Copies of this chain bind each other. A is one copy, B any other.
């Protein structure tokens, strides 16, 4: 019933069994959720921001004024989510929006001084969470983690675009 297993890739045998605790997509999902929650505690508890709101502030804080579309690209969020996040950030005075005179479809967003102050308070806190997260890793492991993630990011770049083949 069982055939010859070999190599680091799942063997034919293993292909009949899915152990969630060893399955990288599942582990990645659980880990990311935990980390996301830990980071979210910082800005939600202390500043009443949602994740999309914080992400929007994060890119505006880092790169300065930009359009909603650029926020979408930088944050990997859906445009609807960004649109709603911006609406709330406008409502509580953390962000400004002005229509781009060169292309009146575009709205240029930027942090208000108050938004910038909030941003400056949050940054060290969320960096501390990252430091905490990585604190058990050696220098080498950190380097490798970065390298491995880079590879995985590349591989998944267009959400495994090659898979789309099967759509037709």
Contact = CB atoms under 8 A, between A and B. Distances in A.
Contacts of A74: 20
A130 B23 contact: yes
Contact of A15 (B127, B133, B156, B163): B127
Nearest to A10: B127
B149 A31 contact: yes
Q: Is the interface of A mostly helix, strand, loop or mixed?
A: helix
B9 A131 contact: yes
A159 B32 contact: no
Identical subunits present: 2
Q: What is the interface residue range for chain A against chain B?
A: 35 or more
Interface of A: 1-2, 5, 7-10, 14-20, 23-39, 41, 55, 58-59, 61-62, 74-76, 120, 123-124, 126-137, 139, 141-142, 144-145, 147-149, 151-156, 159-160, 163
